[in-house]
Structure 1
């Protein structure tokens, strides 16, 4: 993957999970890294571990000014940005009737507006360098799950944002990809498993590979290969590509049947668990938001 050597890569949501793993992998391939996250302590620890090839910048993707300042700092440090990975994202728990409205809005703000702000701020430099943008979507963009409506909506939204962006910037020599993952062993999935018995019940009830969790290492390998190849789509695991092809069936009445049988009991249990927790997202997200306020 010599084509990655020397490239400057901007990654949001870089402090943990996919963002941190990708930063470590790309550093080994000779990339220079502009790492953004709202959670400063783990971000700076990661950047320090990577040495001179990385800079960690605390930034809130819901604030365009904050992201623009971070991008400007990255451009000043490394001369420009070749690759953008819009990765920052969170999830909420609970049915539409019971989820905390403020948490629902927060998911949309980070997962959708955060992608827009990231791309908007970095795009002039990416165009100048005829670079690549990767928008991190999900299998959830075309296979909805009850109790995760905000996450489903946000990931469908950013997939189409990526599709529109691709049409806008192709004549500049910029390529745009979207990443679609099933369950990956990241803090987002780990927190949901720890918080909600209903989430674990849902995974256990899903047919075939749909309920399996893929290792972070396999996800990172797929991302690195996709970025190096400037891929239009990255699927993790590869069978997610089949689900993408079946998206019309998945959204049909026939496709809903298996989920409809289990949804009432699962949602009742999830809403009860969310009420007992006193929050509609992970404690990790709540702690970060409290620290910022």
Structure 2
């Protein structure tokens, strides 16, 4: 069991999210950086899909009320072991400082965090309000029973999120024609900057404007389904890239999708970008031309 002493700017419970409910208007939610979240569970020998803690910009402080094993992954905070299983004794405290790079850290607990599931998931959705509330000081978290044999790994040789510019790969979206080739050239030729109003719903990019192609100016688009990684262009012309808590539909054109492959997810990488960090996009048309 863990007692929460401090939460930092934002700490939530996250798992794989609510899969298969988009037709009912329910966002998937789940961990923003799925790779880091899944790696933490493997390090503590816990079944896939169990709940962990997602910590935004550090500041989490917890006390072990009973012996347990945890692992920290994602954005690396100073003063604590990273990408490695850590045994905590009763009374031990874990304090996450501010990460030197990256935005979101994950605390995996052996057995998973035991909270009540809502619509099949323990994830907190900041858009819909579904799931457990955001963590607060004084909360006590029990460990679940989703235990597997420990992997016998001392440390996972994984580099942390970069502090410098990101180069991300996207494929043309279903409404790329709404900005045309000129707009796609702006999308890939601009050095974008992560906005301060970014959150778990999406990352707002500033530094350029994508204008509608002439034939589409003044023409509204009916709402249609969108997924994590969608690059949507609102009337302001500044792209928004959807993350875990994105809505299931949107009425602005989706001109591209970030690559979201389990082996290398550029959506995971963008989820670690801080406000002010630079982002460049490259367009991969290969899959469409094959």
Question: Normalising to structure 1: TM-score of the pair?
Answer: 0.25
With the length of structure 2 as denominator, give the TM-score of the two structures.
0.26
Q: Which has the higher contact order (CA 8 A, sep 6+)?
A: 2
> Which of the two has greater strand per residue?
2
